[in-house]
Amino acid sequence: MDAPLVKTEVRGRVALLTLNRPQALNALSNEVIDQLAQAMRDFDADENIGAMVLTGSDKAFAAGADIAAMQGWSYMDVYKQDYLGGNWESLKHIRKPIIAAVAGYALGGGCELAMLCDFIIAAENARFGQPEIKLGVIPGYGGTQRLPRAISKAKAMDLVLTARMMDANEAERAGLVSRVVPLERMLDEAIEAATIIASMSLPSVIMAKECVNMAYEGSLNETLMFERRNFHALFATDDQKEGMKAFVEKRKPDFKHQ
């Protein structure tokens, strides 16, 4: 049997997903994304999992969409299969938090996949870029939309139009990544962060993720109301009672995730 293109492992309440196509620097083919989407859907539905970490290899998180596969495609080929829709698009509907643990290259679709995750923890050797323009195309998986929201129009234009790469420190200064750590620390750092998230009340974690994402998707008036209504809704959970009672009683909460 062929090795899986996405390896999975469970550590406590955290699912670790590792892109596993080293010979092509984890280039994202439809097959890779199909396996990734299936694994993420399964973990999303698994009540023993509270958060996920997505990573690649030390050399590449993912060096982009699979150029070898795309090179011969016509307009009709990509239009009819709705390339980058389907399972590609489905990843944004995963409700549990996903941390991208990025080492090495995160280019093109690889950078876009990292941005689709909820936040990025980068190793010092990480390099981010949207070099599609060198191939005669443009980013097609959120690069022209998520990058300016993450790092400002000026820097996004710079990266998208010149195809230059940004190192981990520049990416942190620009706000694309939340933490930069030495390579050997990266996975532990991401798993520890995911473990903290997974220890929180799952309904409040999911609502927090939805509310932060709404900040990018609607007008301020709508999204502030969305936030307030979700805040109100959490008062219907047992975990809100437990969390606040535990604070008053000066002890750790015992969340039941309901």
Active site residue 103: no
Q: Does 27 bind ligand CO8 (CB under 6 A)?
A: yes
Give the one residue of 141, 176, 187, 197 binding ligand CO8; rule: CB under 6 A. 141
Stretch that binds ligand CO8, among 2-10, 95-103, 137-145, 207-215 (CB under 6 A): 137-145
Q: Please identify which of the residues 64, 104, 109, 129 carries the catalytic annotation.
A: 109
Active site residue 65: yes
Query: Residue 2: exposed, middle, or buried by beta-carbon count in 10 A (0-12, 13-18, 19+)?
Result: exposed
Q: Which residues 147-176 are close enough to bind ligand CO8 by CB under 6 A?
A: none
Active site residue 109: yes
Per-residue three-class SS string for the chain = CCCCCEEEEEECCEEEEEECCHHHCCCECHHHHHHHHHHHHHHHHCCCCCEEEEECCCCEEECCECHHHHCCCCHHHHHHCCCCCHHHHHHHHCCCCEEEEECCEEECHHHHHHHHCCEEEEECCCEEECHHHHHCCCCCCCHHHHHHHHHCHHHHHHHHHHCCCEEHHHHHHHCCCCEEECHHHHHHHHHHHHHHHHHCCHHHHHHHHHHHHHHHHCCHHHHHHHHHHHHHHHHHCHHHHHHHHHHHCCCCCCCCCC
Cβ atoms of 100 and 113 closer than 8 Å = yes
Q: Does 84 bind ligand CO8 (CB under 6 A)?
A: yes
Residue closer to ligand CO8 (CB basis): 163 or 224: 163
Stretch that binds ligand CO8, among 1-9, 45-53, 63-71, 192-200 (CB under 6 A): 63-71
Whole-Å CA distances, 75 to 32, 70, 81, 206, 226: 22, 11, 10, 38, 39
Q: Does 112 bind ligand CO8 (CB under 6 A)?
A: yes
Residue closer to ligand CO8 (CB basis): 105 or 255: 105
Residue closer to ligand CO8 (CB basis): 67 or 214: 67
**Total residues at interface with ligand CO8 (CB under 6 A):** 22
- At closest approach, how far in Å is the CB of 142 from ligand CO8? 8
Active site residue 112: yes
Q: Does 108 bind ligand CO8 (CB under 6 A)?
A: yes
Q: Does 128 bind ligand CO8 (CB under 6 A)?
A: no
Q: Is the Cα dihedral 211, 217, 221, 225 positive or negative?
A: negative
Q: Which residues 181-210 are close enough to bind ligand CO8 by CB under 6 A?
A: none
Q: Does 239 bind ligand CO8 (CB under 6 A)?
A: no
Give the one residue of 140, 167, 178, 243 binding ligand CO8; rule: CB under 6 A. 140
Give the one residue of 99, 103, 107, 191 binding ligand CO8; rule: CB under 6 A. 107
Q: Does 25 bind ligand CO8 (CB under 6 A)?
A: yes
The residues assigned a catalytic role are 65, 109, 112, 132
Residues that bind ligand CO8 (CB under 6 A): 24-25, 27-28, 63-68, 84, 105, 107-109, 112, 131-132, 135, 139-141
